[in-house]
Structure 1
Amino acid sequence: MKIIILGAGQVGTTLAENLVSEDNDITLVDNELLRLEDLQDKHDLRVVAGSASSPRVLREAGAPDADLLVAVTSSDEVNMVACQMAYTLFHTPTKIARIRNSEYLREKDKLFHNDMIPIDHIISPENLVTEEIIRLIDYPGALQVAHFADRRISLVVLKAYYGGPLVGYAISMLKEHLPYIDYRIVSILRHDKLIRPQGSTIIEAGDEITFISATVHIKAIMAEIQRLDKPYKRIMIVGGGNIGAGVAKQLEAGCSVKLIERNAEKAKSLAEKLSNTLVFHGDASDQSLLFEEHIENIDVFISLTSDDEANIMSALLAKRLGAKKAMVLIQRMAYINLIQGGTIDIAVSPQQATISALLTHVRKGDVKNVVSLRHGLAEALEVVVHGDAATSNVVGRKVSELKLPQGVILGAVLRNEEVIIAKKQVVIEENDHVVIYLSDKKNISEIEKLFQPSAFFI
């Protein structure tokens, strides 16, 4: 696939790194020549220096015969104009743009179509991160939660802790504890090494477990791996930007929410917009403020400013003063591995949320959802099966008969609204929604080909 990526910031660079190893023809466009040259030295891709919305630059980047254009510059307006140019001048088939401004997003149905601004798919990092945080609040103790198949199937990442009934026992014991619940443990990460789960595998405290199950069974399975946290009811949020305000708005009906904002005018505006949230003008690194607002009673402290270091430091302080859990927004990928799982419980990455949404539109075949895992090394995707026994490599075949690369696991199937865990004897049928886990995303091209009917091979 020939892909043009506009913007070599963190999202554009991470996307290029994800796709360049998958036999794609990638061209990266940015104004910063030194940044482009550095990326070209590291990866097998083309670079073009110049304005992303310039017809000349787009032509030089190969827009006339590109399959996909992804506009992820720091400017919404440049992204919109670039998509307009690609549509009008070059008839680019698929155009994706990152749009951050909430005013544009409120009017998206009127603005973003071929008669106005021709964008096929809109990516909003703020909305994606807000949704991810809400999922983590809904499932206390999870490190990552992703929903598939109209939310009927879920993938959950969590740590095993002492106190979990299954810790210290073989995976096969889970069936004895939960005889009426089906599940699939697809990955165990132990001391940064992947272990292929088998029935005889002993779960140890500290293991990072990834499992797939029907969404209704998530909490029952989690309770076997760690002592299940009580529902989060008392929330403190730092930062009143789009994400902080969005999280507060969604939580304030069911939780006691406090929000700290450093800017006085913004704090006043938020106090008027948020009907059931206590908004404070202040600094989250102010110990006296945290003591006054009873930080020791807070279930989750969520730091969501645009400053990574400030988020980390305020979360560390909050935990030291008694907050039960700390969640932080982190822009720099290098920081995530350093902090998550230590004093700070969860790090949320806008880049990873955005990459997941972008990959959904990049993957070949009828792919409904993609989730990037382990900071881009692993992946889970939902594929709709098409074809019949004559044209498909999977239809009419048992899971055990499929030639899957090492590290690829079929987790679950949605068939006529029924969730089926993909055990060896399960036969794949047309129109099944199959959730697939890949411990190494380098195998993605093989999976794409496996699930495409022969008539539609690319």
Structure 2
Amino acid sequence: MKQIIILGAGQVGHSLAEALSADGIDITVVDTRAERLAELEDQFDIKTVHGFGAHPSVLDAAGARDASMLVAVTDSDEVNMLACQVGSTLFNIETKIARVRARDYHETPELFAQDAMPVDMLISPEAIVTSHIQRLIEHPGSLQVLEFAEGRVSLVGVRAYYGGPLVGHELKNLRYDMPGVHTRVAAIFRQDRSIQPDGNTVVEADDEVFFVAAKKNIRAVTSELRKLEKPYKRIMIAGGGNIGRRLAEALSKRYRVKVIERDAERADQLARELPGNVLVLQGDSADDRFLEAINVEHSDVFCAVTNDDQANIFAGMLAKRSGVRKVMSLINRPSYVDLLQSGTIDVALSPQQATVSALLARVREGGTATVHTLRRGAAEAIETVVSGDSRTSQVVDRRIDEINLPEGASVGAVVRDDEVIIPHHDTVIHSGDHVILFLTDRGKVKQVQRLFQPSPLFF
């Protein structure tokens, strides 16, 4: 059985331990906070070690001599990198992953050569969240936009509204409304309950609908579920920290961007370093009088990305009340995310869930190429690369209706070379295909992995 050491029992470490323990992987979590470790032991079937993760003796006690992977996600970049160095030098751990936030490190890739700092994978929560926000802005009306097969196919979540042509009608009408546009509705969530869709399923207003389509068809499918929104032009970002700065730089080429930063010294620095077409405003984004003074109501999108959950929530609510079309707030506490999304705030962004998704793709076996957690972690979308042949695999050269998929799992798309195939029951899976699967129950992940992993014992 694969053995993994996780350094850090914060939100990311906790979420990763939860996902991997459900997969049946042997996990040990290391942290200096005994109370956090006790919470993990009470909730999951895992081992814990109390101590400083970069110390050789602590790693040894955590089982580093037998571990195949080290995932360092403490709050310190330097501790994470040093732990990878110790794990490689003293224990020859095969795969080392480090969460590294500081941009300077990411912009110096030669630091992470194997003969320098032996880190096999760098995870940047800020970069992941920035990319996620960009996709949401590029596709107005979406709740989630997730990419697979290097961007050739997307899984999009939208909320169905009255007025959408498909609302109140059966899903099979999609093929008549959009001839030539290939798409599949992978799942519908209605009042937090999962519905397995088929052609006779009727879409209701306020349903959260996840569909799979080639990137070029996203806008057309979205228009069937809700009134199509005009492209966004004016973006306001509350918070000039790492995420706010990254976001302003990334969006400045296509949008009119304003950044609000409370700290005067940081605001001056941003004004000097950001592109000249980005306007930096010094003030409190959670102050309704300040927001009124800067005409927040003229913004199309308001992104609250400070390091304070409560400030992000309050600023987002004020912006929405002022008439901003779309409001996104960065929320670190998972319990807050569940409470807020679908309320006043349109999208609650969880850096922990985004980071865990990126980690799961590397940690899991069986050809897993991409993993995205959905519905605040309740569901998953997985891209797996099919390998083996008809003698060693339960899926190769078989029709989809011949594959014993567990309940709640469905095939949303197949990418074969450069072709995106929206499959039917008689679509045959070939070796080398990228198969995008949707699971409404994360507890079925292990079963799906076994199904797609070739075995010499299968005939």
TM-score bracket, shorter-length normalisation: over 0.9
Match of 1:137 in 2: 137
Q: SS state of the match for residue 65, structure 1? A: coil
Does structure 2 retain, via aligned residues, the 8 Å contact 1:18–1:376? no
| SS of equivalent to 1:353 | helix
Residue equivalent to 2:409: 408
Is 1:247 matched up with 2:247? yes
Which residue of structure 1 lines up, in the alignment, with residue 449 of structure 2?
Answer: 448
* Partner residue, 2:213: 213
User: SS at 2:23's partner residue?
Assistant: coil
Query: Could you tell me which residue of structure 2 aligns to residue 83 of structure 1?
Result: 84
Question: What SS class does the counterpart of residue 411 from structure 2 fall into?
Answer: strand
User: Matched residues in 1 for 2:104 and 2:199: separation?
Assistant: 52
Pairwise CA RMSD of aligned residues? 1.2
Quote the Cα distance in structure 1 between the aligned partners of 2:403 and 2:184: 17
The aligned counterpart of 2:338 is 337
- 1:158 alignment partner in structure 2: 158
Q: Residue 82 of structure 2: SS of its match in structure 1?
A: helix
Written as runs of structure 1 = structure 2, the 5 A alignment for 1:30-429 is 30-107=31-108, 109-274=109-274, 275-429=276-430
1:329 alignment partner AA: L
User: Is the Cα contact below 8 Å between 2:392 and 2:457 reproduced in 1?
Assistant: no
| Matched letter for residue 252 of structure 2 | E
Provide, for residues 227-255 of structure 1, a one-character-per-residue CA deviation record: whole Å limited to 9, x for no partner.
11111101111000111111111111211
The one-letter code of the counterpart of 1:58 is L
Query: SS in structure 1 opposite 2:171?
Result: coil
Q: 1:289: how far off?
A: 2.7
> Are 2:155 and 2:210, in contact at CA under 8 Å, matched by a contact in 1?
yes
Alpha-carbon distance in 1 for matches of 2:135, 2:322: 26
Hey, what's the Cα distance between the residues in 1 that align with 2:294 and 2:238? Answer: 13
**5+ long unaligned stretches in structure 1:** none
Shift of 1:190: 0.6
Contact in 1 for aligned 2:111/2:117 (Cα 8 Å): yes
Aligned counterparts of 2:422 and 2:292: Cα–Cα separation in 1: 48
Q: Distance in 2 between matches of 1:286 and 1:405?
A: 50
Indicate the percent of aligned positions where both proteins have the same amino acid: 50
Farther-moved stretch of structure 1 (127-136 vs 434-443): 434-443
Contact 1:132–1:145, Cα closer than 8 Å, also in 2: yes
Query: 1:456–1:232: structure 2 CA closer, same or farther, 3 Å change rule?
Result: farther
Aligned-partner SS, 2:227: coil
CA displacement 1:70-91 (0-9 Å, x = unmatched): 1000011110111111111111
Deviation, 1:395, is 1.1
Distance 2:418 2:82 in 1: 41
Query: Over residues 107-127 of structure 1, what are the superposed CA-to-partner deviations in whole Å (9 max), with x where a residue is unaligned?
Result: 0x2011210011111110000
- For residues 274-301 of structure 1, the C-alpha deviation after alignment (integer angstroms, 9 at most, x for no partner) is 2211101111123333223222211111
- Give the match's secondary structure for 1:425: coil
Q: 1:13-63 deviations in whole A, cap 9, x for unaligned?
A: 111011112111111100011221122122111110000001111011001
1:411-437 Cα offsets, whole Å, 9 max, x none, are: 111112000012111111111111111
Q: Which amino acid in structure 2 is aligned with residue 424 of structure 1?
A: H
Q: Is the 8 A contact 1:6 1:12 kept in 2?
A: yes
**Paired residues of 1:397 and 1:427 also in contact (CA < 8 A):** yes
- Cα separation, 1, equivalents of 2:317 and 2:377: 26
> Greater shift after overlay, 280-289 or 82-91?
280-289
The CA deviation at 1:456 is 9.6
Q: Which moved more, 1:447-456 or 1:437-446?
A: 447-456
Q: How far does residue 272 in structure 1 lie from its aligned partner after superposition?
A: 1.4
Provide Cα deviations, 1:334-390, integer angstroms capped at 9, x if missing partner: 001111111111111100110000001111122211101122221111111111112
- SS where residue 38 of structure 2 aligns? helix
Contact 1:160–1:206 (CA<8 Å) still a contact in 2?
yes
| Whole-angstrom CA distance in 1 between matches of 2:368 and 2:26 | 20
8 Å Cα contact 2:160-2:205 kept in structure 1: yes
> What is the CA–CA distance in structure 2 between the aligned matches of 1:456 and 1:68, rounded to whole Å?
27
Task: Quote the Cα distance in structure 2 between the aligned partners of 1:142 and 1:265.
Answer: 35
- Give the number of equivalent residue pairs: 456
**Separation in 2, partners of 1:137, 1:164:** 20
TM-score by length of 2: 0.97
Find the residue that maps to 2:338 and give its secondary structure.
Answer: helix
Of the structure 1 ranges 426-435 and 317-326, higher mean CA displacement relative to structure 2 is found in 317-326
Task: Give unmatched runs, 5+ long, in structure 2.
Answer: none
| Aligned partner of residue 362 in structure 2, secondary structure | helix
Residue 341 of structure 2 aligns with an amino acid whose one-letter code is: Q
> Residue 332 of structure 1 aligns to which amino acid in structure 2?
R
Q: 1:321 to 1:147 in 2, by over 3 A?
A: same
Q: d(CA) in 2 for partners of 1:35 and 1:250?
A: 36
1:115 corresponds to which letter in structure 2?
Answer: D
CA–CA distance in structure 1, aligned partners of residues 308 and 448 of structure 2: 39
Q: Which moved more, 1:124-133 or 1:111-120?
A: 111-120
Contact 2:148-2:370 at 8 Å conserved across structures: yes
- Of residues 220-229 and 372-381 in structure 1, the stretch that sits farther from structure 2 once superposed is 372-381
The one-letter code sitting in structure 1 at the alignment partner of 2:61 is E
Q: Deviations over 1:152-207 (max 9, x none)?
A: 11001111011111111111111110111111111111111111101111100010
Secondary structure of the residue that 2:268 maps to in structure 1? helix
Q: Is the 8 A contact 1:8 1:73 kept in 2?
A: yes
SS of the counterpart of 1:326? strand
